[in-house]
């Protein structure tokens, strides 16, 4: 294993650091947005009036980010559902909907069953966003997008997640071609931002020493809260999932506006509050949410954009993200959360690549 790991201690760490390459490989040579990115044509998709995304685990959180992107960029109504819920409930089929399954393995039993269930209800427009070309989901969908993350070995998904986000961003830009976008799309700018992602990610990965210092403190906590707003709420969810999966620290995520409706009751000096703070339209609201935490003695750990103007002070720890990345910011903001979970687990001595009770791919119900 040491040959395969190179300078890294675990596959998870290696895979976190492979993300710039995995993303570059997933973007490939796409230079303009077209339906053929998914093997489709304009005619195939012209009637689409809704998107339904089905997934489990970390893949479900990438789908949740995509909902924000697709509605904001393409103006197409989007629903995201946990596959194991969708497959067993009575739902209203819409034959004009595009049903999307998102999966690293393409073999997750619940997601595959949800796809088959959707087809049995008359859904014919199906798309897989998947990391394994030969998988069942890639065979059983009409259209496909392969994420080129390469083999992912760590049970806690990292590079599969960020490459799914790239595929889903392509989907949002492609659906924008259906002419329902709320604001005009400047395609070239989006492509340029995508192409600059590997470099931007490398700058984020260079924050590792600062995250390690935080992880030393996190190893002493038993609970953690994660806050985000808008398209960074799913990133907060993913950060909490990563921490609980591999360090076994109980973690929950909330959209920051919900703080006052419950979780604020938990906040004291033993409850760290990790905050994803991009400089977006919700920043001022997020800052007032942070004040509510600080006023109750909570310890804030803030990943702030460089231009967010958030200063460290008593009870407020800040790591500055090198670049404000607009719509694609979730792809950058998730990376320090992956590193925080990894280094906290490392400090606690848990089995990072094979956490107890969990499997890489859940192929039985
Ligand atoms: C398992 C893995 C997770 C993964 C989930 C969905 O729970 O431990 O890392 O996110 O399955 O897997 P999929 O292959 O469908 O993305």
State the average pLDDT over residues 307-311.
90
Distance from residue 360's CA to the centre of ligand 1 (Å)? 6
Q: Tokens at residue 42, please?
A: 């304009």
State the average pLDDT over residues 315-321.
95
> What is the reported pLDDT for 314?
87
Residue 322 burial (CB < 10 Å; 0-12/13-18/19+)?
middle
Does this model's pTM top 0.90? My answer is yes
Chain segment 330-363, per-residue pLDDT in tens = 999 999 999 999 999 999 999 999 999 999 999 9
Q: Hey, how many other C-beta atoms are within 10 angstroms of the C-beta on 239?
A: 28
Chain segment 224-267, per-residue pLDDT in tens = 999 999 999 999 999 999 999 999 999 999 999 999 899 999 99
Closest ligand 1 atom to Cα of 108: 15
Chain segment 30-82, per-residue pLDDT in tens = 999 999 999 999 999 999 999 999 999 999 999 999 999 999 999 999 999 99
Give the residue numbers annotated as catalytic, written as ranges.
Answer: 360
Residue 210 has pLDDT above 60, yes or no: yes
- CA end-to-end span of the chain: 31
Q: Tokens at residue 5, please?
A: 């790991």
Check pocket membership of 131 for ligand 1, CB cut-off 6 A: no
- When computed from its CA atoms, the radius of gyration of the chain, rounded to whole angstroms, is 20
CA distance 184 to 178: 12
- Residue 214: strand pairing partners: none
Q: What's the chain's average pLDDT?
A: 96
Distance from residue 361's CA to the centre of ligand 1 (Å)? 6
CA distances from 171 to 117, 143, 166, 227, 312 (A): 23, 12, 9, 27, 38
- Residue 55: strand pairing partners: 82
Distance from residue 59's CA to the centre of ligand 1 (Å)? 7
- As a whole number of angstroms, the longest Cα–Cα distance in the chain is 58
Closest ligand 1 atom to Cα of 155: 8
**Considering only CA atoms, which of 275, 296, 291 is closest in space to residue 214?**
275
> What is the reported pLDDT for 42?
98
pLDDT category of residue 286 using cuts at 50, 70 and 90: confident
Check pocket membership of 59 for ligand 1, CB cut-off 6 A: yes
Work out whether the CA dihedral 81, 84, 85, 87 comes out positive or negative.
Answer: positive
To test the pocket of ligand 1, the residue of 58, 107, 163 to mutate (highest count of ligand atoms within 8 Å of its CB) is 58
Q: Tokens at residue 110, please?
A: 């619940």
Residue 328 has pLDDT above 80, yes or no: yes
Chain segment 171-186, per-residue pLDDT in tens = 999 999 999 999 999 9
> What is the reported pLDDT for 27?
98
Residue 83 has pLDDT above 60, yes or no: yes
DSSP state of 313: B
Place of tokens 């390459």: 21
Check pocket membership of 354 for ligand 1, CB cut-off 6 A: no
Residue 304 has pLDDT above 90, yes or no: yes
> What is the reported pLDDT for 93?
98
> What is the reported pLDDT for 365?
84
Write out 98-165 in H/E/C secondary structure. EEEEEECCCCCHHHHHHHHHHHHCCCCCEEEEECCCCCHHHHHCCEEEECCCCCCCCCCCCHHHHHHH
pLDDT category of residue 3 using cuts at 50, 70 and 90: confident
CA distance 309 to 35: 40
pLDDT category of residue 1 using cuts at 50, 70 and 90: low
CA distance 264 to 121: 42
Distance from residue 102's CA to the centre of ligand 1 (Å)? 10
Residue 133 has pLDDT above 60, yes or no: yes
CA distance 156 to 342: 10
Residue 2 has pLDDT above 80, yes or no: no
CA distances from 312 to 276, 292, 299, 304, 317 (A): 15, 16, 11, 10, 5
Residue 152 has pLDDT above 90, yes or no: yes
pLDDT category of residue 364 using cuts at 50, 70 and 90: confident
């Amino acid at each position: 294993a040491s040959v395969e790991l190179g300078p890294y201690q675990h596959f998870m760490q290696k895979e976190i650091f492979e993300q710039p390459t995995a993303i570059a490989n997933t973007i490939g040579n796409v230079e303009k947005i077209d339906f053929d990115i998914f093997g489709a044509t304009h005619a195939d998709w012209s009637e689409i009036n809704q998107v339904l995304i089905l997934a489990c685990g970390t893949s479900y959180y990438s789908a949740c980010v995509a909902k924000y992107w697709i509605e904001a960029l393409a103006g197409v109504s989007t629903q995201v559902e946990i596959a194991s819920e969708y497959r067993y409930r009575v739902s209203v089929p819409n034959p004009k909907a595009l049903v999307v399954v998102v999966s690293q393995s393409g073999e997750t039993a619940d997601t595959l069953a949800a796809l088959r269930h959707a087809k049995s209800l008359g859904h014919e427009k199906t798309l897989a966003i998947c990391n394994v070309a030969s998988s069942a989901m890639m065979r059983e969908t009409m259209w496909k997008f392969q994420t080129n993350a390469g083999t992912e070995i760590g049970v806690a998904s990292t590079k599969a997640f960020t490459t799914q986000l790239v595929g889903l961003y392509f989907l949002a830009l492609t659906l924008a071609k259906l002419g329902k976008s709320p604001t005009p799309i400047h395609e070239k700018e989006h492509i340029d931002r995508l192409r600059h992602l590997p470099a931007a990610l490398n700058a984020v990965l260079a924050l590792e020493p600062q995250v390690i210092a935080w992880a030393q403190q996190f190893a002493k906590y038993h609970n953690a809260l994660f806050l985000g707003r808008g398209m960074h709420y799913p990133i907060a969810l993913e950060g909490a999932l990563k921490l609980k999966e591999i360090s076994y620290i109980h973690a929950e995520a909330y959209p920051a506006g919900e703080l006052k409706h419950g979780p604020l009751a938990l906040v004291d000096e033993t409850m760290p509050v990790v905050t994803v703070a991009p400089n977006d339209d919700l920043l001022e609201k997020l800052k007032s949410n942070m004040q509510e935490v600080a006023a109750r003695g909570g310890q804030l750990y803030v990943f702030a954009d460089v231009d967010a103007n958030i200063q460290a002070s008593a009870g407020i720890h800040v790591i500055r993200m090198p670049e404000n990345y607009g719509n694609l910011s979730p792809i950058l903001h998730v990376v320090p959360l992956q590193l925080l979970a990894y280094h906290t687990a490392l400090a606690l001595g848990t089995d990072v690549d094979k956490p107890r009770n969990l499997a890489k791919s859940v192929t039985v119900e």
